[in-house]
Amino acid sequence: MKLYKLIVIFILLNLNNSFANSIDLNHKITKNLRCLVCQGQSVYDSDSDFANSLKILVVNKINEGLSEKQIYSFLKNKYGEWILYDPELNKNTYLLWLLPVLLFLVGGAIIIRKFNKIKK
């Protein structure tokens, strides 16, 4: 009897866990999608018709077994890259991606030079 109860509890916990996982993934994806009809809101934050439909669609796609990347590429096919908050590295965005690295290197170089001067 005890073993039986333990098994039931174990199964319930597991179910709960997998449910929570799919909700987490759902939130992660919708937070990464731009609501195209809103100003500066993610799909997760918005309550517009468009965002609500997208939320349902994302849940459906997760249940169909699509991965996060597959869902992104599905939506990119429909709406273009603009719907993703995470821009890819291409000729339009290389400045965006490389500028922080460049600034970091220049800043680091300045600091190192200063230190060297102080040492001397």
In the complex with other proteins, the residue whose CB is nearer, 25 or 57, is 57
In the complex with other proteins, which residue's Cβ is closer, 21 or 108?
A: 108
Q: How far is the CB of 103 from other proteins (least distance, A)?
A: 13
DSSP the chain: -HHHHHHHHHHHHHHHHHHHHHHHHHHHHHHTBB-TTSSS-BTTT--SHHHHHHHHHHHHHHHTT--HHHHHHHHHHHH-GGGBSS---STTTHHHHHHHHHHHHHHHHHHHHHHHHHH-
Which residue, 21 or 52, is less far from other proteins as judged by CB? 52
Residues that bind other proteins (CB under 8 A): 36-37, 49-50, 52-54, 56-57, 60, 77-82, 92
Q: Nearest distance from residue 58's CB to other proteins, in Å?
A: 10
